[in-house]
Structure 1
Amino acid sequence: MKILITGATGLLGGYLIKKLQKRGEQLRALILPLEDANLLIQQGIEIIRGDITDPTTLGPAVKDVELVFHLAGMMGVWRPLADYRLVNVTGTLNLYRAAQQAGVRRFVHTSSHTVYGLGHGRFLTEGAALRPDPDPYSLSKAEADRLLRRLLLTSNMETVIIRPGTFFGPGDHLHFGRMAQKLKAGKGIVLGSGANMLPFCYVTDVAQGFILAGYHHNAPGNTYNITNDRPLTQLQMLNLIADAVGGKRPALHVPYTPVYYGSMVAEHVLAPLTQSKPIVTRLGAMMFGTDNRHSIEKARRELSYYPQVDLPDGIRQAAQWFNTGGMEKPPIAAASHMAALAAMRL
């Protein structure tokens, strides 16, 4: 089967490619014009240069393709909502329409757990209302999620929406790497009591969820949470990371509310003056300082999805990467962030 992957140079894309190659699939990656594709070429991946924000470049990418995994998206950069919408909403629509026109059989779209909003303090099912917080990433992801759910109602193309948790693992500079660096340096802090649950899951488990979404007969027309439903508390996770990287367990507890409102001031007052991303954003404060849990009962029941890696084991595996100089190597997502708006991937 010929399969197209967008966001192939991202963390999740790399692990998904490994699973698909074990299945013997023909893989094609849509890569930005200035993006470094050397690793993918070495892996034998067919490369098509294009950009989801430019629909005129997408025809060659979807030609003769049976299955699309759409992982590409904008995240982690300090850009206005319009830029996020261009990539995460319009870009998704462009690719979906191109895939329809090319006769693609199945389209798997990457949403996010942030579409529900953060801090609900209970296990959320796929039926929960989408109430994203006022963050460009969350807002644009929720808009794309709603768009795909409308389109699939009348589309002949099988469509599956995945809402993954925040994934980590070896090669993760964005989440695990940053936490490990702070804890290694003895600069870790705890927001509030630390008893809140964090929405983290191991990257190979998320990749397995995507495989099921791409192949299982029950998946089309459905939305699934793909995460770990045995989450760690903030304090548990920070302590485990500190121990695994030879750092210092955080002892300083900072009240959550002042940090949250401070991040709001930083976003609205300081960031426009400095033209740079605040040290702490509201999304970051809520991710680490509030209780976030997501049910995977639907994925268990319909797809037989079960997380295979306990989070403490996942932390030890990611720490091994960190302890052997992982942060000194180029990130898996190594594209130039100045190449195009879509250069930030999941």
Structure 2
Amino acid sequence: MNLSQQQLLISGIDGFIGLRSAELAQAKEMKVRGLQHSPDKFKKVQKPGIQLFLGSITDPVVVQEACQEIDIVLHTAAVTKESGSLDYFREINVGGTINLAKAAKSAGVKIFVYLSSVLVYGFNYPDGVTEKGPLCGENNPYCQTTIEAEERLLQLNSLPDFNVIIIRAGDVYGPGSIPWIVRPLLLMRQKLFALANDGLGVINHLYVDNLIEGIFLAIEKEAYGEIFNITDGQETSWKEYFTRLAEIGGFPEPISLPASMLKSVLWQQNLAKKLMGKKADIMPDSVDFVTRPYAYSIAKAQSRLNYQPKIDLEEGMRRTQEWLQKTDIQKIIL
């Protein structure tokens, strides 16, 4: 499929991945429409050629309007916090996803791309795990509801009329990434950041432009009804990643604590903040996200899509450093 002149709807266009997807889609001469929930970021997304709809993916009226005359939906909107109410996660990540997909199908949209996550494999998966799994919810609301959303979406896949593609993204970093750039740097600034278990294990980092290239390839190759792991394909240790991040942020190499001790410290800090009526900086469950031990296989994306990540960690960090030099990251999550 030729992407030029295709009508693309991006849910969560005001997010880090959604906004960059819009920019790269326009570079491919696609016609971009965005759906965003927060009115606070409306001006940020108001760019020439982008039509915006304001509302929730759980609102049937809003999504039906947004899907009219659209060829492709890229669904990036989701609750991605480390922990929280399962009901709330399910309302947005499952209910909202299916609401948008049904509206798209009803409006005659041909392609629905769901931005999923490698976290569907849980935290203790086999080395080189492929798209066949096993999947594991880990009693974590994000992991659980992402698995549920995938399952429900695939039930709607109906070739050739409504074609679902699922992209299981790795740990997406780059300018604007909250979990892998902004939050750790803010914690380093406060001298509150520590590696877990000396940074052993593998971060399956994925520079945002590599992710979007993988998405576009899946659409171009018409990989309908298929699932793909997408990462940078580099087996980088957590220690190396966060040490590099500290360097570009101008901070010393992070200290390390045993994972169990780090969780305990976070529980105590969060309890103290709660008693003072303040919001926690980071949840204890975050430790599970940064102790994953192995790499995910991207062999299917490489063979089926000819996916070859163009931006390695060194270049990704260089671009991120350029962005940091002109950005007040404190304002991003306030």
TM above 0.5: yes
Q: Could you tell me which residue of structure 1 aligns to residue 164 of structure 2? A: 159
Query: Taking structure 1 as the reference length, what is the TM-score of the superposition?
Result: 0.86
CA displacement at 1:145 relative to structure 2? 1.3
SS at match of 1:30: strand
CA displacement at 1:272 relative to structure 2? 8.6
Residue identity opposite 2:153 in structure 1: L
- Measured in 1, the distance between the counterparts of 2:273 and 2:220 equals 44
CA displacement at 1:28 relative to structure 2? 0.8
Q: Deviations over 1:26-75 (max 9, x none)?
A: 11111237353223323320112332111122221111111110111112
* Identity across the alignment (%): 26
Aligned 8 A contact 1:185 1:247 in 2: no
Q: Could you tell me which residue of structure 2 aligns to residue 299 of structure 1? A: 301
Q: Deviations over 1:195-220 (max 9, x none)?
A: 21112211111111111223222x11
Aligned-pair RMSD on alpha carbons? 2.7
Q: Which runs of 5+ in 2 are unaligned?
A: 1-5
Aligned 8 A contact 2:228 2:300 in 1: yes
Q: Could you tell me which residue of structure 2 aligns to residue 30 of structure 1? A: 35
Correspondence for 2:110 among 105, 109, 113: 105
Q: Which runs of 5+ in 1 are unaligned?
A: 335-346
Q: Could you tell me which residue of structure 1 aligns to residue 329 of structure 2? A: 327
- Measured in 2, the distance between the counterparts of 1:326 and 1:209 equals 30
- Measured in 1, the distance between the counterparts of 2:295 and 2:216 equals 23
* Corresponding position: 1:5 with 2:10: yes
Question: Which is worse superposed, 322-331 or 113-122?
Answer: 322-331
Correspondence for 2:262 among 254, 259, 270: 259
CA displacement at 1:76 relative to structure 2? 2.4
Alpha-carbon distance change, 90 to 154 in structure 1, aligned in 2, over 3 angstroms: farther
CA displacement at 1:260 relative to structure 2? 4.2
Q: Deviations over 1:278-330 (max 9, x none)?
A: 55435410121231421111001111111111113212221222233341554
Q: Could you tell me which residue of structure 2 aligns to residue 343 of structure 1? A: none
- Measured in 1, the distance between the counterparts of 2:305 and 2:325 equals 36
Alpha-carbon distance change, 330 to 191 in structure 1, aligned in 2, over 3 angstroms: closer
Q: Deviations over 1:111-170 (max 9, x none)?
A: 111111013361211001210222221211111012112332678301100110121111
Query: Taking structure 2 as the reference length, what is the TM-score of the superposition?
Result: 0.89
Aligned 8 A contact 1:89 1:140 in 2: yes
- Measured in 1, the distance between the counterparts of 2:33 and 2:320 equals 28
Alpha-carbon distance change, 132 to 205 in structure 1, aligned in 2, over 3 angstroms: same
Q: Which has the higher contact order (CA 8 A, sep 6+)?
A: 1
Correspondence for 2:283 among 281, 284, 299: 281
Alpha-carbon distance change, 307 to 326 in structure 1, aligned in 2, over 3 angstroms: farther
